[in-house]
Chain A
Amino acid sequence: MKRKHRRLMVVLTSLGLLGAAAALVLTAVEDSLVFFYTPSDLTKNTTPPETLFRLGGLVEEGSVRKDGATTYFNVTDLQKTISASYTGVLPDLFRPGQGVVAEGKLNPDGSFTATEVLAKHDETYMPKEVADALRKSGQWRDGSIIQ
């Protein structure tokens, strides 16, 4: 009986310590764990120009403009907005109001030149008819349900 309890205590304490260690490590390396930075993050920890990083946010409505193979669009997190450009083929789900993650560099003038664009979709799934009905009744704008 005694040894059983001791083993239980050893396992529980080791798991607790391990969890704490993992939590500390993960908080310490948090910066390298985020997949992308939001426009607001950029103004906080001034990323120098000419470093490759990923910028994520929503494609601002009405900001998408095509010029030949180059697409100009604004990435916004609804607080800050950065204008971006990308030359190449965009993913199918790239559309105004939708999430986007673009890899590229910041230009000296504060705009962003992307070398790769990924579409980020949100966690809502619904049939087309439901989306149309929501749009019609005004409860929906492309991107999010109005709470």
Chain B
Amino acid sequence: MERSSFVSEIPIYEIPGGIHPEEHKTRSNQTNIRRLPLANELVINLKGQAGNRSIPIVEVGEAVLKGQVIAECDGIFSAYQHAPTSGTIIAIEKRTIAHPSGLDDLCIVLKPDGDDQWCELTSSSNIEEMDREAVLAQIFEKGVVGLGGASFPSHIKLKQHEGVHTLIINAAECEPYITCDDKLLQEHAKEVLLGAEIISKLYQDINIVIGIEDNKPQAIDAIQQARKELELSNIKLGVVPTKYPSGGEKQLIQLLTGKEVPHGKLPADLGLIMHNVGTCYAIHLALTEGKPLVERLVTLTGDNCKEPGNYWIPFGTPVDHLIKATQSDTPKRLIMGGPMMGYELPHAHVGIVKATNCIIMSADGELGMDQTALPCIRCGACMDACPASLLPQQLYWHAQADEFDKAEEYDLFDCIECGACAYVCPSHIPLVQHYRYAKSTIRNNRVEKLKAEKARERYEARQERLERVKREKAERHRKAAEARKKAAEEAGKKDAKKAAVQAALARVQAKKKAQQSDESAADKNQSDDNHSEGNN
């Protein structure tokens, strides 16, 4: 593929590892951006971004206009969703969503009325006068999320502003097949740069660097042209050699700055913030025209795609509609995203989401992955390809043996799942799937551990309570018994007293009696004496 001869305006550093897969990009970047007719129904997934599910605020049967809010943020960590076109809500139900699991989740189903009529748009007349909070609020309310792939809500990423000194616009687009960022720059470089300007206004003294691979000469020319016309000389072009995965956030940072994002930290901790070109474009639309994010540029490609190219596609458009509208053959495997990091769809009736940058309608044998896995021969090709300097063969060894603690020791969670290792593996081992298995099992185990912990606490609390109740009961019984005893004793004592009293009385009486008898005796004696005296 053609390489740009443009010399990078900033020094470029190296990243370890990486691969050079066949690019397959010319297939989709030769035609202009187009539109397809609207689908019969749009299936809008409420979990269409990183974070939590959005909360639907429309009812079944309700008529909505294009751009109207249909689901809002859960208040913690999710994004607004807007109607991608005007029409009627016909269902809010579980449908298969765009996710590697192929599971169902809550979706809003919208039947377009064909008018595609916008609701009233609130655009800000003067961005210059808006303060930081207002700009962030606008970005939030217009449902803008990162369009590079992770669809992380943009306003959250933009919140931290202490010490940020460089804004990196990610235009690397290193993955094969995908050309939507390339085409967006070729046709809308100005809007992208204006979006970057809006972001840069949120920070003080910020440099803007556009990171782009040298396999996009036309996009590089378009950026230069736009930069000249807009007189934005503060924007620098960092042209990196084409190598997958140079477009990974951590990798592009390393290429452009030579720094590594420390483990467990964010790029912002290095004073860096990165946004995708698509996100810049969306932010520009949201602020200057007040347009919410309701569609995105998607690359339709693959051997079975008869009209490959880039299309503006409203969110929720089912993939089978895209297959029909491009008169494509039924794909052998349907991949959402690129061939390195995308995921397979279980069937075609799945609506596209904000993260969907590419649909590959592959033909039989096109992707070269249907091979038997053989034993690992420890050749180390994966190690040489790993951009994170991990030891993939060790990770695999421990993951397949369920030795998760060992796998974590080998920094399993620093794996970015780029797939370079599995791409080069001569034994065709699905390495990434092994890592994902290990990671998701570890995560699930942690959740279960927490649950068990809670159950243990509740059990112990209950045991303690039962114990306490028992103790208290016993205590009560004891006290009652004591009381009874006391009462009994008391009663006994009373008796004793009575007895004593009686005894005393008796004694007294006895005494009295005795006295009386004594007296009488004495009287008698006396009388006797008297008698004797008298007798003398």
B partners with A: no
Which residues of A approach B to under 8 Å, CB–CB?
Answer: none
